[in-house]
Structure formats: structure tokens, C-alpha cells
């Protein structure tokens, strides 16, 4: 593919999708791609009261079996309800990012919006693309207005990374700390151990390696999407370890998404301790943090899973695939991370529809929030779109998500240990399901593709409410069709 023609090809694909008929599986209060696939959230930052949400997307991916370079899509919002879909921010238009603009971060400094990202280059030949054949370049793009990114600067290449890492070094996360910039990079060592490289810079352009964050014992062969947050003063390294051995109730996905407890300074001596999973469903990955104006730490994640065995979702045949998960508020409570749905989403709620759970409940809606409050010691069984199952066994203290009936499109079963079930807040939206348990103590996220809109609950003692949910209002502000 000639990258110079890529914007025109994308514009034609977007026009074609705009003429497509409405799709009941397309969500209304999640960000989804106009066409093609949507991947990692990136570049999260706030400038003059406007939040910038970038995301990796490959607009032509659903129209061809060939590898297509990804770009950075861009949305802005002031309230997380009303959005502007901005023009595409980054294209693979230089020799250092010709095969795709991959994940990274955003930073506002001296009035400019800076995007740090991975420029992917795959050389043709008989390579394993782990130890040879791949360039993972770190680049920075700049914008004066926060919309148009004209200048790209090459900051680092493979030659700038330590000799003991492979070609897999990517996903720069740049933060400001103590008057200088720190860059976190996920890495895979030559010994197939995951770690995070920490670089420092005074000017945001020249970086030097100052530390490597590891675990006492190997934890996966690669750490993707490293990030730093300190909810309630508890320092955490957010990341996505790959290659962690599966357990009965933990680490059931091909790759993981969560956080390490950090001890020591980020740039000098920090060690990764206990790991906490952010999600126990099928589809949550590539998490990034964003600090809101009021100090809240917000998490954005991709509702997908890299290298999942179930392959493409059914929506790919309709020209689009994957979405961003609901933003979450991250706190640290009782020695563990807690995640609650973004409070601004309550503005989308319609009138409350209470139900009598003692008689069993039925709702017919693909777009709603179910608020369930079972009495202590209760079992709970929900049928999702007829052939999906979400069930809690009080005796076994196990929560099960079973999508093997067909609505999972290849997804089967996920189980997690839960010593009690006090609250369940269930968000359904087209082809997404997100279950927040015990006021954010645990979360399960998945895509789901039911032919029916019916959701039923077996009789239980407690309280049940349904809130119909509205949709995001998204203004199309793209230029030249892209």
C-alpha cells in the first residue's frame, strides 16, 4: 500500500460506512470506529478544559485480509457525554513509522500538545520480528492548536535501547515529575522477561536510561502499555503483562491488564511488587490513565484482547470492530485498586424502572444499566440476550460469565473468586457488557453478540432497577473526510 494514498482510501471507506444501515450491535455510549478496527486508547490529556482521547485505529482492516497500517484517531470532550470527532491526528507518513503509528501518550507543555508514540517498521524477510526485522522507534509529534500535528521528531531507535532487550520496546508513556520528564517504555528482554524501562529528560527531546523496573521473579515475557498513577498516594505501575501462566480464577486471558504496587522512586530503585488484575472478563486491555480537573484518576481501556483465540468479532463483516470500554474512576481502598464507572455517565440515565426481583425480572433493552442489590447470601443468575450467562454461587463464592452458548462468538467461560455479592451494576450497550461488582471491587468486561435483546434474572431477594441509557452526542469535525 502506498501510504501517500492512505488518507484518500480512508475517506472513501468512511463515506461508505456512513451510508450503511443502522447496526444494533454498534454501541451508543461507547466510542467506536467509523470503519475498520479500533485499538488502544492513547495520548490522554487535558488542555484548557478539553479532554483529548486518541486511539489506534486501522480504518481499512475490515475490508482486506492484508496488513494495513494504523493511524491515530482523535476525539475531544468537555464532559464525557458530548464529543467532537476530530480529524485524524497521526498517519504513517515517514520512514520511521511507515508500518503504523503505534501506542503512546500525550502531554501538554508550554502551550503545545505533544504526542509520544511508537513508529513501527517491519522489514521484509525471514525474521522472527522479536530479535530482528522490526524497528520500534520513539517519535514525538507537536501541535499548537491540539488538532493538527505537523512536526514529527525522531527521539530514539532500537540502537538507543539496551543490548539486553529485544526489538520489542514500545508504548512510551511520558509524565512530568519533579521538574523533568520521565518516559516509561514496555520491554521484552533477551531472556524473555517483561520489564519497564525508565528514561529521563530535561527538554522532552533527549532522553537517557535511568532505571529498569522489574519483579523479583519473572512475570510474563513482555510488559505493554506501562503507565504510572498514585491513587490515594499509593504508587502503581499500570501495564499489560504478556505470557503470565493461567490459573483457575486468575490470568485466564491470553494477556493480562492490571497494576503492580511500586516501592521506591520511579526513576531510581523502584521495584514492582504485588500485581492486581483490573478485569476478569474476556475483553479489557491496553489501559491508560488520565487525571481529571478535580483530581480523579480515570482509566481508559480497549474492549478487546490481543491474540485472543476467538479471532474477529461478527461486526467485522459489517465493516467495523472493537470499541473503547467505559471510563473508570480509579481509587485505592483496603489495600487494593477499586474501579467505579465514570460518574458523568449518570447524565445518560433515563427514568428508573424498578422491578420485583422476588418474581424474577425481564428487561428487553440492548442499551441500559441494571442496578441489582441482592440480600446477603443470595445466589444470582442472569441470562444475557438469551444464551449468555452471568451467575453467582454464594456457597462456592464463584462468579461465572459463560458466553459459550453462541453470543460470545468464540468466547467461552471466565470465572473469578468473589467472597460475597453485595452490588452488581451491569452496563449493556449494543454488543458490550460491563459488570461492576461490590462497588467497584472487581469488574468483568466483554463483547457479546446476542440476537435477542432479552435479559432475565432468576428470582432473588433484594432490589432491582433498570435505567434506559441514552447515547453520546458526537459532532463530526473531520477535515477532508478523515
Catalytic (active-site) positions: 40
Long-range contacts of 233-237 (CB under 8 A, 24+ apart): 233/332, 234/261, 234/332, 235/261, 235/262, 235/263, 235/266, 235/270, 236/260, 236/261, 236/262, 236/332, 236/337, 237/184, 237/196, 237/213, 237/262, 237/270, 237/272
CB 370 within 8 A of CB 465: yes
The DSSP code for 204 is S
CB 25 within 8 A of CB 313: no
The DSSP code for 61 is G
Residues with Cβ < 8 Å from 443, sequence gap 6 or more? 278, 279, 280, 281, 284, 328, 339, 434, 435, 436, 437
118: three-class secondary structure by DSSP: strand
Helix, strand, coil percent content, the chain, rounded in steps of 5: 10, 50, 40
CA distance 440 to 341: 8
Q: For 182, what's the count of Cα atoms within 13 Å in the CB-facing half-sphere?
A: 19
Grid cell of 50 as nine digits: 478539553
Distances from the Cα of 261 to the Cα of 181, 236, 439, angstroms: 21, 5, 21
Q: For 391, what's the count of Cα atoms within 13 Å in the CB-facing half-sphere?
A: 13
Other Cβ atoms closer than 10 A to 12:
15
Residues with Cβ < 8 Å from 336, sequence gap 6 or more? 276, 441
Amino acid at each position: 500500500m502506498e501510504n501517500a494514498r492512505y488518507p484518500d482510501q480512508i475517506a472513501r471507506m468512511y463515506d461508505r460506512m456512513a451510508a450503511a444501515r443502522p447496526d444494533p450491535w454498534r454501541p451508543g455510549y461507547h466510542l467506536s470506529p467509523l470503519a475498520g478496527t479500533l485499538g488502544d486508547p492513547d495520548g490522554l490529556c487535558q488542555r484548557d478544559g478539553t479532554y483529548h482521547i486518541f486511539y489506534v485505529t486501522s480504518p481499512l482492516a475490515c475490508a482486506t485480509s492484508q496488513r494495513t497500517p494504523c493511524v491515530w484517531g482523535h476525539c475531544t470532550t468537555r464532559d464525557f457525554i458530548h464529543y467532537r470527532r476530530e480529524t485524524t491526528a497521526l498517519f504513517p507518513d515517514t520512514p520511521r513509522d511507515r508500518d503504523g503509528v503505534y501506542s503512546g501518550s500525550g502531554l501538554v507543555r508550554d502551550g503545545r500538545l505533544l504526542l509520544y508514540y511508537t513508529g513501527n517498521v517491519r522489514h521484509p524477510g525471514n525474521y522472527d520480528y522479536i530479535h530482528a526485522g522490526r524497528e520500534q522507534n520513539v517519535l514525538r509529534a507537536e501541535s499548537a492548536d491540539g488538532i493538527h500535528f505537523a512536526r514529527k521528531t525522531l527521539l530514539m531507535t532500537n540502537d538507543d535501547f539496551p543490548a539486553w532487550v529485544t526489538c520489542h520496546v514500545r508504548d512510551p508513556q511520558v509524565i512530568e515529575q519533579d521538574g523533568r520528564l520521565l518516559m516509561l517504555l514496555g520491554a521484552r528482554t533477551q531472556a524473555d522477561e517483561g520489564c519497564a524501562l525508565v528514561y529521563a529528560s530535561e527538554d522532552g527531546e533527549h532522553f537517557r536510561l535511568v532505571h529498569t523496573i522489574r519483579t523479583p521473579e519473572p512475570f510474563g515475557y513482555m510488559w505493554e502499555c506501562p503507565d504510572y498513577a498514585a491513587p490515594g498516594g499509593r504508587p502503581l505501575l499500570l501495564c499489560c503483562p504478556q505470557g503470565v501462566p493461567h490459573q483457575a480464577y486468575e490470568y485466564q486471558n491470553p494477556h493480562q491488564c492490571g497494576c503492580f504496587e511500586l516501592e521506591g522512586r520511579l526513576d531510581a530503585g523502584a521495584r514492582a511488587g504485588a500485581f492486581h488484575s483490573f478485569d476478569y472478563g474476556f475483553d479489557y486491555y491496553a489501559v491508560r490513565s488520565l487525571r481529571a480537573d478535580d483530581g480523579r484518576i480515570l482509566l481508559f481501556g480497549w474492549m478487546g484482547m490481543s491474540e485472543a483465540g476467538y479471532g474477529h468479532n461478527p461486526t467485522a463483516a459489517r465493516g467495523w470492530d472493537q470499541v473503547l470500554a467505559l471510563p473508570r474512576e480509579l481509587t485505592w481502598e483496603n489495600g487494593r485498586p477499586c474501579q467505579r464507572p465514570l460518574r458523568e455517565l449518570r447524565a445518560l440515565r433515563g427514568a428508573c424502572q424498578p422491578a420485583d426481583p422476588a418474581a424474577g425480572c425481564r428487561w428487553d433493552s440492548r442499551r441500559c444499566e441494571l442496578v441489582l442489590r441482592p440480600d446477603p447470601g443470595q445466589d444470582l443468575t442472569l441470562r444475557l440476550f438469551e444464551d449468555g450467562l452471568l451467575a453467582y454461587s454464594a456457597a462456592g463464592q464463584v462468579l461465572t460469565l459463560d458466553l459459550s452458548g453462541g453470543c460470545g462468538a468464540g468466547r467461552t467461560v471466565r470465572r473469578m473468586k468473589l467472597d460475597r455479592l453485595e452490588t452488581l451494576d451491569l452496563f449493556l450497550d449494543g454488543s458490550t457488557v460491563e459488570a461492576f461488582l461490590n462497588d467497584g471491587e472487581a469488574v468483568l468486561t466483554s463483547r457479546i453478540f446476542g440476537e435477542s435483546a432479552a435479559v432475565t434474572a432468576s428470582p432473588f431477594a433484594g432490589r432491582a432497577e433498570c435505567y434506559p441509557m441514552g447515547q453520546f452526542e458526537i459532532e463530526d469535525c473531520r477535515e477532508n473526510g478523515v
